[in-house]
Amino acid sequence: MGFIPIRLGDYVRLHLKSNRGESAAEVTARLRSALERYKAGARCACGEPIWVIGSAEAGNACFTCITGEADPSGDYEIDEACDKVRRPPAKGTAANS
């Protein structure tokens, strides 16, 4: 199984329920920045595509490197980034160097 797709705005609302001191604008900006890096082909140091939600908080890294878990079932990912399995490594990234 894989990630549970979630719209960016829906994730922001969910995140803010658990992190009441955070600003919606700041969370949204971090997620958009991570999503743009993902779309540009950003990879984790291990060569896997970045996990957008985790990378918005912890820097460019994949789900496994951020959480230590291999299976993302039950965890959210921004819907626009749920095509990870099918994405080839971007030219010039660690996986292609």
DSSP 29: H
* pTM of the model as a whole: 0.84
SS3 per residue for 32-74: HHHHHHHHCCCECCCCCECCHHHHHHHCCCCHHHHHCCCCCCC
Handedness of CA 60, 65, 71, 74 (dihedral sign): negative
Tens of pLDDT, residue by residue over 36-75, are 999 999 999 999 999 999 999 999 999 999 999 999 999 9
pLDDT above 90 covers a percentage of the chain that reads: 82
